[in-house]
Structure 1
């Protein structure tokens, strides 16, 4: 699998992430020019984890994204379907309950988590609608979802420049810093093909989430969507 236009087969996506696990966090930092740190801080602020709460961090990868939630005293479950990512995460954060799971068939009971969150992983799920329904299922009534995902820059001239960066500059940079640069060609194309801000909001509402809203980060390169389970 190298093109976003192809069907995203779960085993192929998992295998792709297995191969980039060792240098994944570093590569993201380089390719985003350090902006990924800013985005994750905004996610932590939106999640607003507190002691005693249960937080599901889906597509957590190496569990780097889970650390800010755990630091608040919340009980955090990092979940991912890439065993390579989870094994790398276990080396770094062995005290966290890293869990293998498919976003479309989560291994949790109904109404478990106060907050469910996923950052930069939803567009890699084969069935987005099924994943959003599963997140809804495992969330407690009154709980929230926080989704951080690449989106569409709001200023047209910048959107053109951004697209050129994704398709022209990102692959050569990935070849210099990643163990599997082809994976980042796919990731660039998956970003380009992903729904815009209103499009993702519509999918959340379709899955049952209410009070759906979003906030643009970095001019719309990334959007932070939120919703509530009634």
Structure 2
């Protein structure tokens, strides 16, 4: 699969992530020019996990994103639909409760979590609105959602440069560092097809979330959306 659209086949996307699991984290660091670590820190601040809270980290992959939550004393559940990612994560962090799950039909009871978060994974879900409703369902009243996802740079000249990087520079770099460079062609194209900041905020409100807001990171390359379940 080398072409991307918003009509994604879950088994194809899962297989793609299975193939890149072993080198996924280091490849992300290279392709993001080191920004991925900064983005993870900002997600951790926004979630603001506290001791004994239950946190769902959806699309957690190898659980690199889950570790900051666990470090606060929270109970974090790394969940992903890529079995390859989960297996790789279990090798590294055997003590975490890795759980296989589809974002559109989560294997958790209603009102289970104090906070739910997903970083760079919502874009890969076949039914975005259904996933946002599922996140709402499993969140306790008063609980919060934090979504970190690629978005649209706010400064037009930079947006042009960024688009050129995605479509021209990213694929050859991916061929050098990734076991499945086609996955990163998909990445570039899926970013271009994804809603902008206001568009995603609208989807969150439609799914029932209140107090929806966002903050741009790296000039809008990434946006951090937040919401509350009332």
> TM-score per shorter chain, which class?
over 0.9
How many correspondences in the alignment?
A: 230
- SS of aligned partner of 1:184: helix
| d(CA) in 2 for partners of 1:66, 1:41 | 11
Aligned twin of 1:18: 18
Aligned twin of 1:95: 95
- SS of aligned partner of 2:199: helix
Aligned twin of 1:112: 112
Q: Does 1:78 align with 2:78?
A: yes
Aligned twin of 1:131: 131
Query: Post-superposition shift, 1:6?
Result: 6.6
| d(CA) in 2 for partners of 1:105, 1:3 | 25
Q: Does 1:172 align with 2:172?
A: yes
Superimposed CA distance per residue, residues 120-176 of structure 1 (whole angstroms, 9 cap, x where no aligned partner): 000000000000000000000000000000000000000000000000000000000
Aligned twin of 2:57: 57
Aligned twin of 1:69: 69
- SS of aligned partner of 1:65: coil
Instruction: Tell me if the contact between 2:6 and 2:190 (Cα under 8 Å) persists in the aligned partners.
Output: no
Query: Post-superposition shift, 1:2?
Result: 1.6
Cα-Cα RMSD: 0.6
| d(CA) in 2 for partners of 1:187, 1:56 | 24
Aligned twin of 2:149: 149
Aligned twin of 1:196: 196
Structure 1: runs of 5+ lacking an equivalent: none
| d(CA) in 2 for partners of 1:5, 1:151 | 15
Instruction: Tell me if the contact between 2:204 and 2:212 (Cα under 8 Å) persists in the aligned partners.
Output: yes
- SS of aligned partner of 1:56: strand
- SS of aligned partner of 2:66: helix
- SS of aligned partner of 2:134: helix
Runs of 4+ in structure 1 over 6 Å off: none
Query: Post-superposition shift, 1:217?
Result: 0.2
Query: Post-superposition shift, 1:5?
Result: 2.5
| d(CA) in 2 for partners of 1:146, 1:74 | 16
Instruction: Tell me if the contact between 2:6 and 2:194 (Cα under 8 Å) persists in the aligned partners.
Output: no
Superimposed CA distance per residue, residues 44-83 of structure 1 (whole angstroms, 9 cap, x where no aligned partner): 0000001010000000000010000000000000000000
